[in-house]
Amino acid sequence: MTVSSTHVSRGLSALTRDRALLREEGCGSSMPIAVDICRLSKFFAVRRSIRNTLLHPRRSDFVHVLRDLSLDVRKGELFGLLGPNGAGKTTLFKILSTLIVPDAGTASICGADLIRDSAQVRSFLTPVIADERSLSWRVTAWENLHLYGSLQGLCGGMLRGRIGEVLDIVGLQSTGAKLVGQFSSGMKQRLLIARALLHRPRVLLLDEPTRSLDPISAREFRAFLRSEIIERQGCTVLLATHDPEEALEFCDRIAILDRGRLIRVGSPQSLASEFRGTRYRVWTTTPEHSAFGELVHQERIESIRHVSRAGDLTSLDMNVLVDECNLADLVSFLVTRGVRLSRFERIGVGLADVIERAISVSRGAGDA
Ligand SMILES: Nc1ncnc2c1ncn2[C@@H]1O[C@H](COP(=O)(O)OP(=O)(O)OP(=O)(O)O)[C@@H](O)[C@H]1O
Ligand SMILES: [Mg+2]
């Protein structure tokens, strides 16, 4: 895209009750707002070719990375951000962390304005970038925290006491003299969280925290986040993830971003019921038959996707738009047109499909 440059600690039970309320109401409307995002936009300058620069020296090219994004996250909420690569999740986190400034719009963290009260914002909110390299590997967990806390202006007995507390929270209190370089990825993730907790933030931003974890460690890490960080510490968590099942099982609400635009917000359950659709898998020896295309053309099925091939048989997934009681007609149409069917079965649809469908509906509606 080309634009001109001028465009340029409460009790555990109370918290558990609040979280139940959040889940019930979908948006937790009775809870105070922790993160209030209002019409945020961000452009990045695009590198231009020498020829382009010489031809149009006064022009600048920009990519519109966030478009008019408005969102609120309630206190104590676990809020998931989902979307394809380049959707703008990390950019949003960088803006909320005051690492970069937005080109338009505002946001506030626990009432502190992102631009006017940026120092207060930084004391309320901490980003946890899942990058183990930001830890010092040749020293212990305790020494890592001491170094980081000192750089943050903490010192003396207060710092030492807090290090003990956060190591306890993340379950690393017994690592003693073990060097961080000898930690597992899950332990390093916990240490990153401990570091973020040192100065008691109210909001944590987690950018793909389980990316490098095996499925069992990832599950443990999620359980730890829920019980310790959200329920015991009372933090509000924004979590960017590519793991749809993590979002479905874990988040109170999720937002789906696509090309910088917010396309849906809601509880995983409500989005799932809105976009899940009905999907069937057929096994056929004639996957290229024109009858499939005709069904799409007749709007009886929405899309077809080749899934796998086993010998002569190819499996195709179809999003079916007709009422399920008319399925027999659909099968009969395929058979009479000469499609050789071996199996026809209903299949489960995951949240990945829900996200894909939400994006395709949004793009189809001309949101892009
Ligand atoms: N400093 C920058 N300069 C120019 N473009 C940038 C810069 N940082 C990010 N972008 C672009 O902004 C868009 C959004 O990037 P961002 O990292 O926010 O996406 P994301 O949703 O976090 O993606 P992923 O899922 O891959 O982490 C991308 O097109 C990216 O190329
Ligand atoms: Mg990212």
Residues 6+ apart with CB under 8 A from 116: none
Among the listed residues 107, 87, 82, the one whose alpha carbon sits nearest the alpha carbon of residue 97: 107
Please tell me the residue having the least CA distance from ligand 1 atom 13.
86
Per-residue pLDDT reduced to its tens digit, 251-294: 999 999 999 999 999 998 888 777 766 788 999 999 999 999 99
Q: For atom 12 of ligand 1, which residue has the closest CA?
A: 65
Pocket-forming residues, ligand 1, beta carbon under 6 Å:
44, 63, 65, 83, 85-91
DSSP character string of 107-147: EEETTEETTTTHHHHHHHEEEEE--GGGS-TTSBHHHHHHH
Phi, psi of 322 (to 5 degrees): -80, 155
In our burial notation (b when 16+ CB lie closer than 10 A, e otherwise), range 191-214 reads bbbbbbbbbebbbbbbbbbbeebe
For 215-231, what is the mean pLDDT? Answer: 85
Q: For residues 8 and 41, what is the distance between their CA atoms, to the nearest angstrom?
A: 9
Q: Which residue, by CA, sits nearest to atom 2 of ligand 1?
A: 44
pTM of the model as a whole: 0.78
Residue nearest to atom 3 of ligand 1 (CA): 44
Closest Cα to atom 7, ligand 1: which residue? 44
Averaged over 147-175, what is the pLDDT?
91
Q: What is the pLDDT of residues 15-63, one digit of tens each?
A: 444 444 444 444 445 789 999 999 999 999 888 888 888 888 888 788 9
Query: Ligand 1 center to residue 196 CA distance, Å?
Result: 23
Q: What is the pLDDT of residue 37?
A: 97
What does pLDDT average to over the chain? 85
Residue 10 predicted with pLDDT over 50: no
Predicted pLDDT of residue 14: 42
Place of tokens 């338009």: 104
Residue 43 buriedness (CB in 10 A; 0-12 / 13-18 / 19+): buried
Least confident of 14-18, 129-133, 145-149: 14-18
With the most atoms of ligand 1 within 8 angstroms of its CB, the residue from 8, 40, 43, 44 to mutate is: 44
Cα 136 to middle of ligand 2, angstroms: 23
pLDDT at 94 over 50: yes
Interval 227-236: pLDDT, tens: 888 998 899 9
- Ligand 1 centroid vs 250 CA: distance in angstroms? 25
